[in-house]
Amino acid sequence: MKIDLGFFKDLPVWLKTSLIIGILVATVVGFFAVARYTDKDDGLCQGCHPVIHQMWEESKSHPADQVTCYECHTKHLEAFPEDDTNLIIHYRDKIIPIHFNSGPEMINANCLRCHPEIPKLEKVKKTRIIKISHKKHFKSEKVKIDSCLVCHYPVAHDKYSIPTNRPRMQGCFAGECHKAERNKDRCELCHFVKLVEEGEVLKKVQPVPAPPGK
């Protein structure tokens, strides 16, 4: 099939120029649109990380329809570049996500980007069972925790049978963090609501006696 472009030479100069500019703009915009879509598509991540991808899809704290791989695992640039940054490179990298990785610095920066108010909280929002002061744990005078991942490492890819984004008790007692509180008399420091009475706990852990004659 032969395309006749003879009509083009008969067009006015302004129309020729407009058509050429329009085609160039459409090509550039189309390229960046396709590149951005493919870079943000979680299907690319799933090809190499199927197990981790499934954990993310099942995450309750960061639903798959709201938070994607791109949100946590790539560098998010500001609207305007810094003084020493090339303007073209800055906006190219902003349009097409780059530097995907799972390093703690990258993920922690994105945690704080989405949740800037969390480190200042005295108690976890909307909690009913456990109280944990972020203000006393995150970069405080006594505690030198400087990363959200120290406590919330399974926030999106939880390998436990009961997934949760909350800190786990064994993590709180690891090392020297809460050495003095490692006894049942100090549980109320965090667990200010008792889920069961002590007698109920004992009944659950005691073995059921065997029937007579067995």
Question: Using 50, 70 and 90 to split pLDDT, how confident is the model at 2?
Answer: low
* Position with higher pLDDT, 184 vs 58: 58
For the beta carbon of residue 104, count every other beta carbon within 10 angstroms: 15
pLDDT value at 132 more than 80: no
Q: What domains does the chain contain, in order, with CATH numbers?
A: 12-167 (1.10.3820)
- CA–CA separation, 119 and 121 (whole Å): 6
One-letter amino acid identity for 88? I
Strand partners, 3: none
The pLDDT tens digits for 83-100 are 777 788 888 788 888 778
Average pLDDT over residues 175-180: 73
Q: How many other C-beta atoms lie within 10 A of the C-beta of residue 74?
A: 19
